[in-house]
Amino acid sequence: KAGVTQTPRYLIKTRGQQVTLSCSPISGHRSVSWYQQTPGQGLQFLFEYFSETQRNKGNFPGRFSGRQFSNSRSEMNVSTLELGDSALYLCASSFLDSEETQYFGPGTRLLVL
């Protein structure tokens, strides 16, 4: 069974731009969670989607948004990029919710200049 895939793997943007990251979960998994990892803050929860609905949201500004499609693939968008948004963005999938064992993708490393 294919693992979780994320695209792109690396991205360089400038301040003020917007970015869209994509995550394809393991086949059959319906829950997709997104996380931001920075050296200073570590791993932080962004949001969780299940059956095309946002089920939980972390403490991030409204510039961070996401969605999930009917095939469970998910995208997250960050608008008006700031230098502090430079991070590794990870998505993880599970059958039903984020409290189960989660399977992580390789991440998208975003650098904002």
Partner 1 sequence: KNEVEQSPQNLTAQEGEFITINCSYSVGISALHWLQQHPGGGIVSLFMLSSGKKKHGRLIATINIQEKHSSLHITASHPRDSAVYICAVGGGSQGNLIFGKGTKLSVKP
* Contacts with partner 1, residue ranges (CB under 8 A): 33, 37, 42-45, 48, 55-56, 58, 88, 90, 92, 97-104, 106-107, 109
- Report the nearest approach of partner 1 to the CB of residue 108 (Å): 9
Bridge partners, residue 21, by sequence? 76
Q: Three-state SS for 87?
A: strand
Our CB check for partner 1 shows the closer of 81 and 89 to be 89
Q: Compare residues 16 and 108 and give the one whose CB is closer to partner 1.
A: 108
Q: How far is the CB of 16 from partner 1 (least distance, A)?
A: 26
Q: How far is the CB of 43 from partner 1 (least distance, A)?
A: 4
Q: How far apart are the first and last CA of the chain?
A: 37
Q: Report d(CA 98, CA 27) in Å as an integer.
A: 16
What token pair was written down for 101?
């064992």
**Residue 109 carries which side chain, given as an amino acid letter?**
R
Min CB(83)–partner 1 separation in Å: 20
Nearer to partner 1, 62 or 99 (CB): 99
Residues 6+ apart with CB under 8 A from 46: 33, 34, 35, 36, 57, 58, 60, 64, 66, 76, 89
Q: Cβ closer to partner 1: 58 or 73?
A: 58
